[in-house]
Amino acid sequence: MNYTRDNIVAIASGTGYAGVGIIRISGYDLFPIIEAISGKKNLKPRYAQYCNFYDDKNEILDSGILIYFDNPKSFTGEDVVELQTHGSPVVLNMLLKYCISLGCRHAQPGEFTKRAYLNGKLDLLQAESIADLIHAESEASAKGAIKSLRGEFSHFINAINERLINLRMFVEASLDFPDEDIEFVANAKIKEKLEVIRNEIHPLLKTTRQGVFLNNGVNTVIIGQPNVGKSSLLNVIANEEVAIVTDIAGTTRDIVKQKIIIDGIPFNIIDTAGIRQTEDAVEKIGIERAIHAISEADICIILIDSRSGIMAEDKLILEYVPDHVKKIYVHNKIDLSGEVPRISVEAEKTNIYISAKHKAGIDELRKYLLDTVGFESATESLFIARTRHLNAMQKAVSHINTAFVHWEELEILAEELRYAHTALGEITGEFSADDLLGEIFSKFCIGK
């Protein structure tokens, strides 16, 4: 993807009033701009200089720190200048306008990071992790974004891709030159090499899925009949009064969503309307939205009145839950049924007994939510990921599995290895369409 090598400028600090404000310029031949703004010449790269900042009438606008980074030893790989002023929006905007009058173009959202990617300073996955770090909502998410930014996720992908490239080289050589003695193929090492790749990528797929949860949150939908305590459960898990609670069946008529953090992992807890046959038009809409929420769930909490157990109505509700969605059967109101807080597994169904009213068994439920999506151990080793990474990883795993089945059929094997290599390359940006890059960088802040 090519880009115009012009000079771009933007306010890189946040909006509003602050102690310090930053203007960032990137491009080439910045010395005339630097001299016009600061009066400084022949700057030493990566050294901070205190100076005055001037306007087009050579009047002092402010004083602050100027730092020059020469290409390619800068974030973008171009010449970069940062002007650190007092954090006055008025001063920052006057300086910004002056930079534009000197020939700079106002940067588009994410354009500095985009140039860093296009100039090979970081790969696409690392570029995305900058935005993920900025928007992190928990310590675990921030640490995961830092790991991706440092290249840890990319390292795993590149290592697997290196193995794929080496294997492709020998397989395709044997196809192109069938009369040659290709020792690698003759020694029947293909299946062994594929097994190594498969054993490396399957754990990476699981970690990527966890990285998506770390980034987006785990969609956890509470479903059940009316008046079993769904809203009460949402409130007690969230530790605040999020949903209205009454004894009237059908009180909840819309989706109520609350993000909570459990041991650093974000969960999107979603309370839904009780699913039942009804003639109420508004309640019907709420039930339709509940069914839609179920279709997008990672976990479904099936809330049951512990006094009656699983009823025929509950089984009808379960028919809306896709097979791939993890299910937890939570038996509420044990304060009325005489049960004690506990977790039991019966016929591959996990049953948790709680009282939302008295907060009994809630800690066990929170822990089990973590266990259900694979966060039973510490999160220090996790990196952050996006849905597109997971989709590409799933494609790569599928092609590698197919290659493993057809390892003796070299033409099919070569094709599947190529598909797997391409899918992994989409994650790091080795193979990326221009429209994908445009979508990714358009979601960044201006100045990043």
Give the three-class secondary structure for 330: strand
Q: Label the pairing between strands 8-11 and 18-27.
A: antiparallel
Contact 227, 240 (CB under 8 A): no
Residues of each domain in the chain carrying CATH 3.40.50.300 = 224-373
138 in a known ligand binding site = no
251 in a known ligand binding site = yes
For CA atoms 303, 308, 313, 319, the dihedral sign is positive
Residues 336, 4: Cα–Cα separation, whole Å? 70
Give the three-class secondary structure for 130: helix
- Closest by CA to 11, choosing from 73, 70, 97, 118, is 97
Q: Which two tokens stand for residue 137?
A: 């909502």
- CA dihedral 143→434→201→385, nearest 10 degrees, is 20
Burial profile 165-184: b = 16 or more Cβ within 10 angstroms, e = fewer: eebbebbbebeeeeeeeeeb
Give the CA distances from residue 207 to residues 28, 181, 211, 230, 236, in Å, rounded to whole numbers and listed in that order: 41, 40, 6, 31, 30
Q: pLDDT tens digits, the chain, 448 residues: what are they?
A: 556 789 999 999 988 899 999 999 999 989 999 999 999 988 999 999 999 999 999 999 999 999 999 999 999 999 999 999 999 999 999 999 999 999 999 999 999 999 999 999 999 999 999 999 999 988 889 999 999 999 999 999 999 999 998 888 888 777 776 665 555 444 467 888 899 999 999 999 999 999 999 999 999 999 988 888 888 898 889 877 665 444 555 555 567 888 989 988 999 999 887 777 766 777 677 888 888 889 999 999 999 999 998 898 888 889 989 999 999 999 999 999 888 988 888 777 899 999 999 999 999 999 999 998 888 655 666 899 999 999 999 999 999 999 999 888 889 999 999 999 999 999 998 866 566 566 666 666 666 6
Cα angle 250, 252, 256 (rounded to 5 degrees) comes to: 160
243 in a known ligand binding site = no
CB atoms within 10 A of CB 248: 9
User: What are 285-327's pLDDT values in tens digits?
Assistant: 788 888 888 999 999 999 999 999 889 888 888 998 999 999 9
103 in a known ligand binding site = no
448 in a known ligand binding site = yes
Give the CA distances from residue 297 to residues 327, 365, 395, in Å, rounded to whole numbers and listed in that order: 10, 17, 21
229 in a known ligand binding site = yes
Contact 427, 157 (CB under 8 A): yes
- Class of CATH domain 224-373: alpha beta
pTM of this prediction?
0.82
Residues 99, 8: Cα–Cα separation, whole Å? 9
Q: Which two tokens stand for residue 162?
A: 């290196």
Residues of each domain in the chain carrying CATH 3.30.1360.120 = 8-122
82 in a known ligand binding site = yes
Give the three-class secondary structure for 3: coil
Contact 231, 252 (CB under 8 A): yes
Alpha helices in 136-257 (DSSP H): 139-149, 152-176, 183-186, 190-216, 230-238
The architecture in CATH of the region 8-122 reads 2-Layer Sandwich (3.30)
Residues 270, 300: Cα–Cα separation, whole Å? 9
Alpha helices in 217-326 (DSSP H): 230-238, 281-295, 312-318
- Class of CATH domain 132-214+386-428: mainly alpha
Residues 378, 265: Cα–Cα separation, whole Å? 11
230 in a known ligand binding site = yes
271 in a known ligand binding site = yes
361 in a known ligand binding site = no
Task: Give residue 289's pLDDT.
Answer: 86
What's the gap between Cα 225 and its chain centre? 33
Q: Which two tokens stand for residue 265?
A: 């992992």
For CA atoms 270, 271, 277, 283, the dihedral sign is negative
88 in a known ligand binding site = no
227 in a known ligand binding site = yes
Q: Label the pairing between strands 105-106 and 8-11.
A: parallel
Residues 419, 68: Cα–Cα separation, whole Å? 43
371 in a known ligand binding site = no
97 in a known ligand binding site = no
326 in a known ligand binding site = no
272 in a known ligand binding site = yes
231 in a known ligand binding site = yes
Residues of each domain in the chain carrying CATH 1.20.120.430 = 132-214+386-428
Residues 374, 240: Cα–Cα separation, whole Å? 26
